[in-house]
Structure 1
Amino acid sequence: MVNAKPKDLALHVLEKLKHSKLSLPIPPMVILEDLFETLFFASMRTEESDLIKVTVTLIDPENPDPRPPREVVAERWSVIRFDEHMEFTIKNLVKLSKASDPSTTSLAVYYNQEGGLYIWGMIDQAIHYQSFLNYESESGSEQPGLFQVLVNDIGTLDVLFDYELLARLKQNVLIPRYLDVFTIGPVSKILKANAGHLKEELKEFLKSEHPEEDFADWENFADGLWIQTLSRLLLRVQNYHHGGGILITNNEQDIDIKYKIYYDRLKLAVSKYAKESINNYLAEWLIEDHLASGKRSISKDWYLEQSRSLFSREQIADEIKGCISFLASHTCVDGVLLFDADMISKGFGAVLKAKKSPRKIYISPTATATPKSLVPTDPLHFGTRHRSMISYCWNYPGSLGLVISQDGDIRAFHRIEDKLIMWENIKTQQFLKSRKLKKNK
């Protein structure tokens, strides 16, 4: 929806909440509108020359934890109450934002019987939530309150229910969902094909080390790991707010690479991580199955292998994180970061010199790019960075181009037969469908 306002976001969220399975009270429309409008205008302010970034959680101070788990994990959230409630105003949000980094903290907000919003505390341990969204953790922590609202850019609000993105208001555009192009559709097929070398390595590894295992049981794991790695790289590039381009191709024609390198460490680390993940999973399964049979002791070798593989996997995870940071920083130089299909970096600061451009490109509102859904548009409507990627992907079919704007928008380009397809509003974070929300009828 274009020309959208905070009121439109409130209407969308209210409709979603009406279909929730929660027993918690649903705030009236006037509360949601006030909440989103205040946050929207607060996002345009600065404090000590910094833009406002903050997360708020709508949570009842009278019943903040209605269904605590039987076993409370050490990193579970808690609410730290203020001695006095503060009015939910732009001024108070701006001041508190300096003490509440949205990657680690959330402000506890609720409303009174008169319909007034107020800030009554702070919620800690939000770092684990963000780690899961950004693929830096394998499990997601339980979330407090009814929903969270994240402000991380000017006029941009993300509303999340558990780990499901209900909607994003980005200035004047309401985005009800993101395209999951990395999971289904033509882009997904390209990435899964590019993961071929990883899958071949795992096949040989299983034959050698775990011959009783069927590779078919691990193929989705390999594809997911490959796609997750690219998602993490894009998320890291977004955080620079510099913009950049990533081109995945095995063809280096019409490319002038200013800084040529050969960096295969990410590829090798992903392969090592996959193998140790298999080792660890099978070691844990063997121990659990043995104990479930009623036996009270296990082999020392089993225990040592489980511990060794877990420690090794954690070390390699840190290596992958370092590789991603290293590569993402290369996009801060003008030009394109170039990868081959195996995710080996061939260099950065690359200039795409293909000149021939299609008269039209086609925007796909679906991940699958079904022909009936395509919307034709003129490539001249886009900037230089986008047009150079369009020309290259048009002239060299099989290439996958990704352009990250300074405001964080990601667009993907790929030629399908006689059409150059563009996808926008691409899902990069690990949003999950909530079981607490029913599908709209």
Structure 2
Amino acid sequence: MKSYYYPNNLTVELLARWPATAAGLLPLAELEDFISVAYQASLLHEEGHPVRCRLVLSALEHLPKGTDPSESYVLELAAPRPYTEQEIRRLSPALDSPGSLLAVCTDPEAGLLIWGLLRSRNPWHETDTFSPVPAQLPLILDVSGPGNLVFYHGRYRVLTLQHGHVEGHGFVEYPVAWSHGRFTENIEVLRPQLVAAGVDFPADLMPLLGELAHHVTRRVVARVRASGHGGMLAYVPTASVARCVGLAATLRPKYPVRLPDEAHFYNGLQLAIIGRLAELGDVSWRRYQQAGDTRLLELEASLDQYAHLLADLMSVDGALVVTKQLAIVGFGIEVYAPQLALSQVYRALDATATRLQAEPADSGGTRHRAAYRLCLAEPESMAIVISQDGGVRFVQFHEEKAVFWEQLTL
């Protein structure tokens, strides 16, 4: 039987799991206060939305410096504010960006104080905001939902509290293994298009295409989670659409969309990004991330707008289905596979799903069961299910089983 954890238990657990080579944490009583306030803040709402934010426990002078000063910005308050759940609640709307952190320090006389905000250009766990020297990394606490806290040593996850339990089987990182090798059809589509455009076909294009697809997926998930309405996004091979989508098929759309014969919007964005990177002399994800090029910034904004469109379509009752080239197939889609017996599904306990844990299929909601049935009926498909409470599951067919990765926060 699982034990429920509260701030006092959590403090002891964090101290036990904190890396031995890392800088020391606060004394037990102060650390418990830090955690208790964050826990209470997680139960509050601001403007109708649950409080979500990230806290970094470090004084300004002790904050490790990244290698690129253009990556981050420090906003120091002229007068520090008391570290209370209500202050966190009031400040949480300013921390909506995944690159934002609320900075907290301890004062010998005043106790815990909020002294400023840190802002990174990219999500904080994907940047070089903090020193690469492990011993210098601070404690970061991600308040990811009501009663849900994720503790980091810099960008390295140490401890997760979810629904009252300390969990070891959820993933904060995007589960790349879920989609690894599953967007390869883009290569064959883009090859003749790039040749026709006079662009030399890069030797290793798949890493860039995979990261672009992941970027759009992250944006979709973040927007749906923020909206609070939940939804399901399914990916199917383009070649399977005619067979598995229809009035008497596995995927039965209320609002089908006419698929273009040639290039579609996302395909056009990929072509434009690759073409511009080729002009800049480096067709890679790293170059795309670092570019301050005006044209690439415009294309990134278009990618984000497309992600917002997908997220908005997910608010309609039923699933949104796209091809693995991210062309929209339809929305308001019912998954129909009553012939499949579904009693168990399997939780991935590691990033590669080499260790699995069986769970009853009815432990999730209607969307979850629809995703499991889809992946069993159409093994080349993939699905993402987002609950109204912000929980995210990435589902695929793996070794004759419906397997899911649970993402604790994004």
- Same fold? TM cut 0.5: yes
**Residues 404 and 421 of structure 1, relative CA distance in 2, 3 Å threshold:** same
**Residues 345 and 382 of structure 1, relative CA distance in 2, 3 Å threshold:** same
The number of equivalent residue pairs is 383
Aligned to 2:232: 245
Aligned to 1:288: none
Query: 1:58: how far off?
Result: 1.4
Which whole-Å deviations, capped at 9, do the CAs of 1:280-332 have from their partners, x for residues lacking one? 24499xxxxxxxxxxxxxxxxxxxxxxx9933222111111111101111111
Q: Is 1:400 the counterpart of 2:382 in the alignment? A: yes
State which drifts further: 373-382 or 10-19.
Answer: 10-19
Which whole-Å deviations, capped at 9, do the CAs of 1:87-127 have from their partners, x for residues lacking one? 43334444x4367445386443222447x732152225x25
Gaps of 5+ in 1: 285-307, 430-441
Structure-1-length-normalised TM-score: 0.73
2: CA distance, partners of 1:141 / 1:416? 36
Which whole-Å deviations, capped at 9, do the CAs of 1:154-197 have from their partners, x for residues lacking one? 2222334443444432231334561767433xx334xx232332
Larger Rg: 1
Letter in 2 for 1:79: E
Q: CA RMSD in A?
A: 3.6
**Residues 74 and 319 of structure 1, relative CA distance in 2, 3 Å threshold:** closer
**Native 8 Å contact 1:100 1:107 kept in 2:** no
**Residues 312 and 34 of structure 1, relative CA distance in 2, 3 Å threshold:** same
**Residues 215 and 74 of structure 1, relative CA distance in 2, 3 Å threshold:** closer
Letter in 1 for 2:34: L
Aligned to 1:341: 324
Aligned with 1:334: secondary structure? coil
**Residues 80 and 417 of structure 1, relative CA distance in 2, 3 Å threshold:** closer
Which of 333, 338, 358 is the matching residue for 1:376?
A: 358
Aligned to 2:203: 215
Aligned to 2:287: none
Which of 231, 253, 259 is the matching residue for 2:255?
A: 259
Aligned with 1:354: secondary structure? coil
Q: Is 1:195 the counterpart of 2:189 in the alignment? A: no
1: CA distance, partners of 2:187 / 2:66? 42
Gaps of 5+ in 2: 285-290
2: CA distance, partners of 1:227 / 1:283? 17
Aligned to 2:220: 233
**Native 8 Å contact 1:52 1:97 kept in 2:** no
Which whole-Å deviations, capped at 9, do the CAs of 1:214-243 have from their partners, x for residues lacking one? 513x43233332333323322222222211
**Residues 359 and 20 of structure 1, relative CA distance in 2, 3 Å threshold:** same
Q: Is 1:146 the counterpart of 2:141 in the alignment? A: no
**Residues 282 and 247 of structure 1, relative CA distance in 2, 3 Å threshold:** closer
**Residues 92 and 416 of structure 1, relative CA distance in 2, 3 Å threshold:** closer
Aligned with 1:80: secondary structure? strand
Structure-2-length-normalised TM-score: 0.78
**Residues 207 and 215 of structure 1, relative CA distance in 2, 3 Å threshold:** farther
Aligned to 2:401: 419
Letter in 2 for 1:258: K
Q: Which one has a larger percent strand, Structure 1 or Structure 2?
A: 2
Query: 1:408: how far off?
Result: 1.5
2: CA distance, partners of 1:145 / 1:181? 22
Query: 1:54: how far off?
Result: 4.2
Query: 1:11: how far off?
Result: 4.0
2: CA distance, partners of 1:399 / 1:99? 36
Q: Is 1:389 the counterpart of 2:376 in the alignment? A: no
Aligned to 1:118: 112
Aligned with 2:396: secondary structure? strand
Q: Is 1:365 the counterpart of 2:349 in the alignment? A: yes
